Amino acid sequence: MADWPVDKLRTVFAAEAIAAQVAELGRRIAADYAGRPPIVVSVLKGSFVFVADLVRTLPLPVRIEFLGVQSYGSGTVSTGAVQITQDLTHPIEGQDILILEDIVDTGLTLAYILSLMRARGVRSVKVCALLDKPSRRRVEVPVDYVGFTVGDAFLVGYGLDCAELYRNLPGLYELLEPPTE
């Protein structure tokens, strides 16, 4: 992190804590889906690091799909409008779906995704989020598996970004001075 503005970052979860929690989520998911592996839907871009680590803990033959959505633009506050930037590549009708999210904040994006999955006729849909920020909820949504519950701080690292930066940091950090909007 030598080239990062470390004076603008506060460590919230170190890489080791994240790895332990991801392994625990993997154990729970593997037990719940034994005998009926789900299609994992990675919500891009923020979840890609989490998804890569989590699926490697699953002793299940999972298929992975990617769904690109955007609701933040380049700012630090959700616009409330969800835009699909990349759709799934295979049909999911009649399948068990496990949505993997980096963070559930307002709930607006997840509500949209859940509605989309149900409209496509899935058999079941569950949600796993690395981070849950219930204090910011505008819409109540189910989150079946939660890595960490966090307060109202803007977090970066481990796939999460601010204006497309910081995704490659190994831990999760509070951005103390987000860019002005």
Determine the pLDDT at residue 169.
Answer: 95
Task: Give pLDDT tens digits for 139-156.
Answer: 999 999 999 999 999 999
Active site residues: 105
Q: CA quadruple 119, 134, 127, 45: dihedral positive or negative?
A: positive
Q: Within 13 Å of residue 124, how many CA atoms lie on the same side as its CB?
A: 10
Q: Six-digit token pair at 88?
A: 């799934």
Show me where the domains of the chain are located.
15-151
Determine the pLDDT at residue 135.
Answer: 93
For the domain made up of 15-151, give the CATH fold.
Rossmann fold (3.40.50)
- Helices 15-32 and 48-55 sit at what angle, rounded to 10 degrees? 60
Render the burial of 35-63: b for 16+ CB within 10 Å, e for the rest: eebbbbbbbbbbbbbbbebbbebbebebe
Determine the pLDDT at residue 77.
Answer: 56
Task: Give pLDDT tens digits for 25-58.
Answer: 999 999 999 999 999 999 999 999 999 999 999 9
Determine the pLDDT at residue 76.
Answer: 52
Predicted TM-score (pTM) of this structure:
0.89
Q: Which residue positions in the chain have pLDDT lower than 70? A: 1-6, 72-80, 178-181
